[in-house]
Amino acid sequence: MSLEQFQRAFADLVASPPFCLTVQSSPELLDEYDLTERERERLEAMASHPGMSHNCTLYRANRLTPIARSLPATCLHLGPHLRAEFDNFLATSSDAFDLQFRGEAERFARYLGARLECGAIEDPELRRCLDRELLELAEDFDPFVPH
């Protein structure tokens, strides 16, 4: 069971730069994982390693690429707000990340739709842009062609 907990903790560190930074000063946050002392020491060292920022960057790029490729007009429309919305999406998304372009784009679209619906984003043009791209995504989808 310990290896699974180690992998989950490492994935959580990579997926959340704020969590990674917090673990550096509060390693007791790793108490929620069932780790051996050796695993814990390794994770603490990883969280503090300067190269960890590269892991976090790669993770974010792997999450953003399908969104940018599948919803380019939506991303362009968000402009300087894209980063904040993407950061919030990552921080609040409870859906599993599966590296599938369509799935990731649809999750981001649902996130934006919910933000528009509750009034957190007031931008009717964003709604139209998002709806148009989702329609195109659905029409162009071929399950045998990687997206």
Residues 6+ apart with CB under 8 A from 3: none
pLDDT tens for each residue of 22-40: 999 999 999 999 999 999 9
Do 28 and 69 have their domain in common?
A: no
CB atoms within 10 A of CB 106: 19
Nearest to 23 by CA among 41, 48, 52: 48
Q: Are the CB atoms for 62 and 30 separated by under 8 Å?
A: no
End of a domain among 31, 49, 67? Answer: 49
Q: Quote the CA–CA distance of 6 and 136 in Å, as a whole number.
A: 41
pLDDT recorded at residue 137: 83
pTM recorded for the entire structure:
0.78
Q: Quote the CA–CA distance of 96 and 103 in Å, as a whole number.
A: 10
Q: What is the mean pLDDT of residues 6-23?
A: 91
Q: Are the CB atoms for 137 and 102 separated by under 8 Å?
A: yes
pLDDT recorded at residue 100: 72
CB atoms within 10 A of CB 39: 19
The answer as to whether 29 is a domain residue is yes
Do 77 and 10 have their domain in common?
A: no
DSSP 97: P
Do 69 and 114 have their domain in common?
A: yes
What domain count does the chain have?
2
pLDDT tens for each residue of 91-133: 887 666 666 778 889 999 999 999 999 999 999 999 999 999 9
Do 12 and 74 have their domain in common?
A: no
Burial class (CB in 10 A: 0-12, 13-18, 19+), 98: exposed
End of a domain among 11, 26, 49? Answer: 49
Domain of residue 18 covers 2-49
